């Protein structure tokens, strides 16, 4: 494991002052108490007093001493000198080397500082480092910073940078070797041989079993499902899934697996016999779970595709037969007119009707109507059943390969489909005869298609059970163990002793009480007060009026009118726009790296910091290629090592991933939030979420069809989160146009920046009672825009309270006892979400997808109804509140416009066929958007300073209305060059394109 994991800047700044200390740092490290002053004042000369004090404070702050007091920032010198009542700080220049050495010895003795070479100090650090390296998953540079802080806190004088970095590398290597040895000891020779077979090369390079298992499956069809199940079988044949790795740190094992997912097979083969098995065992166990999840992702997408195709086929069939249906209906109408003719006697009806239309034609028309007309509640059963052969291809294999579990509600369906697979498809007559369909599961709409003349149509029954199975799988009534995406989230909630230990601290953190009574009463009072506030404000609220439509009361809310902008604001915008410098996008990335160092957060997947020259340039180039959707080809520059094909390909494979993008984004967001201009835009407590739609190249497990957004192609949604400071703090990939509300809470709980938004605004599509309830439990405020407030349901707790004109609109009642009875479980859910014990997406999907919500889901929804009512009443009452929501959502729309400008390549279509690649590319787009926003913010500040310096009056209110999302000065498409190679100009030909990897005999 290499020692050189530190950048030049990190080495340069180690143990040195890097700028002036902040006010907080001065107060913490440079304050001299009475004891300090008494010791310092024992020195007679002012130079010695100041020198002694500066050495002491420097040791506290940096953990080491400085050779020259002149390198100490003047701000710190003045702060210390003022406490010593020394006005002339130049006396520090008379501080002698001998006095410095003697004072350092005294400080170490009096204040308990020790040298790093001291055995006890060294042992304490080694023990701490080894524990972190064994349990933690920090990369070397992070561990280096943590070790530095640990030494400072322990009053151990910092060693040289090389000494500490070598120690960290050695400790990490020992921890890694220990893990490898532990795993090796669990393996037999047969296990090792089986694992080694994964890396044996095939007929051509990149065709090992390892490469095959890792390669993504592109299309959604039965062949793809069978291919994934075949890979699952291959992994299980390795027979290492039973090896117990529970005694090892789970995050370290997961890291080994992820490194193996990215590494070349040849590099795995080159590892030592002690290292290789650890990587491959972790990979095999990780891959088994991943393949199970992948197969179920494909299954769910495949059934969704069948459902879509069934609907389309039914619609096409209806259009083709509409003429026949019309003719039959008109003919029957002609015959039925006789029934309504009062002049025809009852005994003459048949004769009169048949004289108009023959009985043969009437019979044919009746048959036509019966065969073509679809009853109410039709679910395209005929078209569903036509897909039987496609389902039959993979269903038996799926059920045999995966061990499914179920809740009480899901057990009948799981047992029925297992029996179908066991007895209904293959086998001899005796096994087929034991097949007994469970008719009680069949719904009324499907029964006539399945049971015909007392016989069960097996193909129809199979299709129906598969549909039921998929529905229960989505609700997690049927689930898998182990699984990351298809497990039962209820089983992962905090429980037992662990919950009892954490409950008090969780309640304090979320401002909830263990006893439900106070919080329930608070909710009741808030709902009641919201009604009263609305009614009191109503006479002064011309935006709200009440009407009756179709005998039903209706609330009408006048839309917000467009605000007239001040002339001073328009003038300021024009001036800022005119003064912003023109810039190319690559220059922005490099400039912001120089300001923030964000590119240093990208580290190699193996954690072995191979720091190559000009790595930030390569990282910025790859980010640009991904964000602009153009690939690396246009960025390759022969003769420039940082922009060679090999370098960019290597960086893209080993550095660009969700983990490093999130870390780099956190650096940008923190830097941006500290700028003075940003604080005028907002405090970071308000955020919005909205989806950006992208067409995808092919139908995969993570894409869906939606004609409105994707036309006839599949697509995905990039659901991104934006604060009122214009900083994007998180982004999530959503299949197709799945409900936004499922992913909303995950954006807040999983984001890794220093921001902590408390209020989130969305469009109406992101709303649901469950989401309102969970937001309240977790201490967040959900403030969606309400598109049609007239159709919104308002709720109340007290049936007897008179709410005046709102009585007609608040006839829905909530039950306090429903909340109180499930308060403990609701706290457990909130605690599990807050601690990351369970993912928000998993939980909300389970709560929202059930047709028969559990009592707990109803209790959360009850809390949600109360908060939804509070929000709705405030939305009606407070025009300023509505405008804040609209303004924040408009910021998100403006960011999307900038995103479309940057993501211009390949017609703006997302060409990556698999989920991980799509996540990485859209993450790069989000990062580049934040880089542009930060660059714009810095230059808007510079423009404002220039205007002020030149006598322009600038209103603070106008500055607060400026936006860093402008793009008129931004060159995204690059520039065209008309330079020509001298050889070509002379009539020669340019060199043919031979890449670095091409080899010819």
Name the nearest CA neighbour of 142 among 6, 253, 8.
Answer: 6
What number of residues does the chain have?
A: 1001
Which of 362-371, 868-877, 976-985 shows the lowest per-residue confidence on average (mean pLDDT)?
A: 976-985
For the cut 60, the answer to whether the pLDDT of residue 994 exceeds it is no
If pLDDT is split at 50, 70 and 90, which confidence band does 1001 have? very low
pLDDT tens per residue across span 780-807: 999 999 988 888 899 999 998 999 999 9
Give the pLDDT score at 691. Answer: 92
Give the pLDDT score at 689. Answer: 94
For the cut 50, the answer to whether the pLDDT of residue 927 exceeds it is yes
Q: Write out the H or E segment, with its range, that includes residue 398.
A: helix 388-401
Question: Where do runs of H (alpha helix) occur along 63-96?
Answer: 74-83
For the cut 70, the answer to whether the pLDDT of residue 4 exceeds it is no
pLDDT tens per residue across span 220-275: 899 999 999 999 999 999 988 888 888 888 888 888 888 888 888 888 888 888 88
Write the DSSP symbol of residue 692.
E
If pLDDT is split at 50, 70 and 90, which confidence band does 1 have? very low
Is 874:823 a contact under the CB 8 Å cutoff? no
For the cut 60, the answer to whether the pLDDT of residue 432 exceeds it is no
- Give rounded-to-5 percent helix, strand, coil for the chain: 60, 5, 30
Is 656:714 a contact under the CB 8 Å cutoff? no
Mean residue pLDDT across the chain: 87
DSSP 857-893: HHHHHHHHHHHHHHHHHHHHH-HHHHHHHHHHHHHHH
Higher pLDDT, 7 or 451: 451
For the cut 90, the answer to whether the pLDDT of residue 699 exceeds it is no
Cα-trace Rg, the chain: 35
How far apart CA 313 and CA 307 sit, in angstroms, is 10
For the cut 50, the answer to whether the pLDDT of residue 999 exceeds it is no
In this prediction, residues 908-933 reach a mean pLDDT of 91
In this prediction, residues 754-775 reach a mean pLDDT of 88
Q: Which residues pair with 717 in a beta bridge?
A: 693, 734
Which of 174-183, 429-438, 515-524, 558-567 shows the lowest per-residue confidence on average (mean pLDDT)?
A: 429-438
If pLDDT is split at 50, 70 and 90, which confidence band does 985 have? low
pLDDT tens per residue across span 836-873: 888 888 888 888 876 678 888 999 999 999 999 999 99
For the cut 90, the answer to whether the pLDDT of residue 562 exceeds it is no
Give the pLDDT score at 529. Answer: 96
For the cut 90, the answer to whether the pLDDT of residue 465 exceeds it is yes
Name 103's Cβ contacts closer than 8 Å, sequence gap at least 6.
48, 51, 52, 55
If pLDDT is split at 50, 70 and 90, which confidence band does 998 have? very low
For the cut 80, the answer to whether the pLDDT of residue 5 exceeds it is no
Give the percent of the chain with pLDDT over 90.
Answer: 44
pLDDT tens per residue across span 155-198: 888 888 888 888 888 888 888 888 888 888 898 889 889 898 98
Which of 26-30, 236-240, 513-517, 709-713 shows the lowest per-residue confidence on average (mean pLDDT)?
A: 709-713
Q: What's the token pair of residue 474?
A: 């989505």
Name the nearest CA neighbour of 959 among 681, 727, 725.
Answer: 681
Surface-to-core class of residue 497, CB atoms within 10 Å of its CB (0-12 exposed, 13-18 middle, 19+ buried):
exposed
Is 233:212 a contact under the CB 8 Å cutoff? no
If pLDDT is split at 50, 70 and 90, which confidence band does 956 have? very high
* φ, ψ of residue 901 in degrees (nearest 5): -65, -45
If pLDDT is split at 50, 70 and 90, which confidence band does 54 have? very high
If pLDDT is split at 50, 70 and 90, which confidence band does 987 have? confident
Q: What's the token pair of residue 998?
A: 């091409």
**Tokens 């940008």, located at residue:** 668
pLDDT tens per residue across span 271-327: 888 888 999 999 999 999 999 999 999 999 999 888 888 888 777 766 777 777 778
How far apart CA 426 and CA 183 sit, in angstroms, is 42
Give the pLDDT score at 447. Answer: 87
């Amino acid at each position: 494991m290499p020692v050189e994991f530190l950048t030049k800047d990190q080495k340069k700044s180690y143990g040195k002052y890097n700028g002036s200390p902040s006010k907080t740092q001065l107060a913490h490290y440079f304050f001299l108490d009475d004891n300090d002053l008494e010791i310092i004042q024992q020195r007679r000369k002012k130079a010695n007093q100041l020198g002694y004090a500066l050495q002491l404070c420097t040791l506290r702050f940096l953990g080491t001493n400085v050779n020259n007091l002149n390198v100490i920032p003047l701000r710190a010198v003045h702060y210390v000198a003022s406490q010593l009542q020394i006005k002339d700080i130049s006396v520090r220049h008379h501080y002698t080397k001998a006095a410095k050495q003697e004072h350092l010895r005294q400080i170490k003795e009096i204040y308990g500082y020790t040298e790093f070479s001291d055995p006890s100090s060294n042992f304490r650090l080694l023990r701490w480092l080894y524990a972190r390296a064994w349990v933690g998953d920090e990369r070397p540079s992070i561990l280096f910073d943590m070790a530095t802080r640990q030494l400072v806190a322990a009053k151990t004088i910092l060693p040289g940078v090389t000494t500490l970095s070598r120690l960290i590398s050695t400790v990490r290597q020992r921890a890694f070797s220990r893990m490898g040895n532990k795993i090796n000891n669990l393996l037999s020779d047969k296990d090792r041989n089986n694992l080694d077979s994964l890396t044996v090369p095939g007929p051509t390079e990149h065709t090992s079993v390892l490469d095959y298992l890792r390669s993504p499956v592109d299309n959604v069809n039965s062949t793809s499902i069978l291919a994934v199940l075949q890979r699952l079988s291959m992994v299980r044949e390795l027979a290492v899934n039973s090896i117990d790795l529970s005694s090892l740190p789970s995050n370290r094992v997961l890291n080994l697996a992820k490194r193996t997912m990215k590494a070349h097979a040849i590099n795995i083969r080159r590892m030592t016999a002690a290292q290789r098995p650890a990587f491959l065992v972790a990979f095999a166990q990780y891959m088994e779970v991943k393949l199970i999840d992948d197969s179920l992702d494909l299954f769910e997408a495949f059934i969704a595709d069948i459902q879509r195709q069934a609907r389309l086929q039914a619609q096409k069939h209806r259009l083709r037969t509409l003429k026949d249906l019309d003719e039959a209906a008109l003919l029957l109408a002609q015959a039925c007119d006789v029934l309504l003719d009062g002049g025809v006697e009852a005994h003459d009806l048949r004769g009169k009707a048949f004289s108009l239309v023959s009985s043969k034609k009437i019979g044919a028309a009746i048959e036509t109507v019966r065969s073509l007309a679809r009853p109410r509640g039709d679910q395209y059963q005929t078209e569903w059943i036509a897909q039987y052969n496609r389902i039959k291809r993979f269903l038996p294999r799926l059920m045999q390969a995966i061990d499914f579990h179920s809740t009480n509600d899901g057990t009948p369906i799981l047992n029925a489909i297992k029996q179908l697979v066991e007895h209904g498809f293959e086998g001899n007559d005796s096994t087929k005869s034991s097949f007994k369909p469970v008719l009680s599961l069949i719904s009324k709409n499907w029964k006539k298609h399945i049971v015909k003349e007392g016989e069960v149509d097996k193909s129809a029954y199979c299709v129906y059970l598969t549909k039921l199975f998929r529905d229960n799988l989505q609700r997690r009534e049927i689930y898998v163990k182990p699984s990351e995406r298809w497990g039962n989230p209820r089983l992962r909630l905090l429980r037992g002793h662990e919950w009892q230990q954490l409950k008090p601290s969780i309640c304090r953190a979320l401002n909830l009480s263990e006893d439900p009574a106070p919080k329930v009463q608070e909710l009741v009072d808030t709902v009641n007060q919201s009604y009263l506030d609305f009614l009191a404000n109503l006479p002064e609220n011309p935006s709200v009026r009440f009407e009756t439509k179709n005998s039903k009361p209706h609330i009408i809310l006048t839309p917000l009118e467009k605000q007239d902008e001040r002339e001073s604001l328009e003038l300021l915008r024009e001036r800022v726009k005119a003064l912003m410098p023109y810039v190319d996008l690559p220059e922005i990335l490099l400039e912001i790296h120089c300001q923030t160092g964000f590119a240093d957060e990208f580290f190699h997947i193996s954690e072995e910091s191979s720091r190559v020259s000009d790595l930030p340039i390569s990282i910025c180039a790859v980010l640009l290629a991904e964000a602009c959707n153009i690939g690396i080809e246009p960025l390759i520059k022969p003769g420039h090592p940082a922009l060679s094909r090999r370098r960019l390909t290597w960086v893209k494979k080993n550095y660009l991933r969700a983990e490093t993008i999130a870390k780099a984004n956190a650096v940008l967001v923190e830097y941006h939030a500290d700028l003075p201009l940003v604080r005028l835009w907002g405090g970071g407590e308000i955020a919005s979420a909205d989806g950006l739609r992208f067409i995808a190249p092919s139908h995969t497990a993570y894409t869906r069809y939606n004609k409105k957004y994707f036309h006839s192609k599949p697509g995905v949604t990039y659901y991104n989160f934006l604060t009122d400071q214009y900083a994007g703090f998180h982004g999530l990939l959503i299949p197709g146009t799945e409900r936004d509300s499922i992913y909303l809470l995950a954006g807040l709980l999983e984001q890794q920046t220093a921001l902590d938004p408390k209020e989130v605004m969305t469009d109406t599509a992101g709303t649901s009672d469950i989401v309102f309830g969970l937001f309240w439990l977790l201490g967040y405020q959900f403030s969606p825009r309400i598109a049609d407030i007239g159709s919104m349901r308002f709720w109340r707790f007290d049936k007897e309270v008179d709410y005046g004109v709102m009585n007609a609109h608040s006839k829905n009642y909530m039950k306090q006892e429903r909340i109180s009875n499930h308060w403990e479980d609701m706290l457990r859910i909130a605690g599990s979400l807050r601690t990351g014990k369970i993912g928000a997406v998993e939980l909300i999907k389970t709560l929202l997808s059930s047709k028969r919500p559990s009592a707990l889901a109803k209790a959360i929804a009850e809390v949600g109804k109360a908060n939804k009512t509070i929000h709705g009443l405030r939305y009606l009452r407070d025009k300023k509140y509505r405008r804040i929501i609209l303004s924040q959502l408009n910021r998100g729309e403006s960011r999307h416009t900038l995103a479309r400008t940057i993501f211009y390549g390949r017609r703006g279509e997302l060409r990556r066929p698999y989920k991980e690649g799509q996540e990485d590319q859209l993450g790069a787009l989000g990062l580049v958007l934040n880089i542009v926003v930060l660059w714009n913010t810095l230059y808007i500040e510079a423009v404002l300073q220039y205007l002020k310096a030149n006598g322009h009056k600038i209103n603070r209110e106008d500055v607060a209305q400026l936006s860093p999302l402008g793009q008129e000065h931004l060159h995204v498409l690059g520039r065209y060059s008309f330079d020509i190679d001298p050889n070509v100009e002379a009539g020669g030909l340019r060199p043919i394109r031979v890449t670095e990897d091409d080899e010819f005999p």
